[in-house]
Amino acid sequence: MLQQNHDYTEVREDKSRGGLKRIWNAMFYSFEGIGSSLKHESAFRQEMLLACILIPTAIMLPVGLLGKALMIGSIFLVLVVELMNSALEWTVDYISQETHPFAKRAKDMGSGAVFFALLNVAVMWGLVITEAIRDGRLSF
């Protein structure tokens, strides 16, 4: 059973209370999380590879700045959602390796979020490229 007597007004000693030190520490925690995901999550590695290809492509395509922003932003959204999904999966597995319908549901919901983020990429890229073709800035 979880301990119920926590004083939530106290800050843990290993936590920074704010200011530049907090921002500095948060940056390194972020790098550790990204590095851990690159090492342990094949889906994240695949999506990073996709980002490394699609972001320069978006920059080079003859679309407006707003189109570029939508295309690149949709890629970053996939990476964010994948990181959150991986964190959810690791947390569920940490709590229990037992197969449980609630654990499956939580993991499936995380996977669904990644699916929608990827669908968003397809929609954003499709709309921006369609507009560029319609306006004659891009042809195949």
Helices then strands, each counted (H, E), the chain? 4, 0
- Catalytic (active site) residue 82: yes
- Which segments of 41-103 are extended strands (E)? none
The total of other beta-carbon atoms located within 10 Å of residue 53's CB is: 11
Radius of gyration for the alpha carbons in the chain, expressed in angstroms and rounded: 20
Exactly one of 47, 82, 98, 131 is catalytic; name it: 82
Task: List residues with catalytic annotation.
Answer: 82
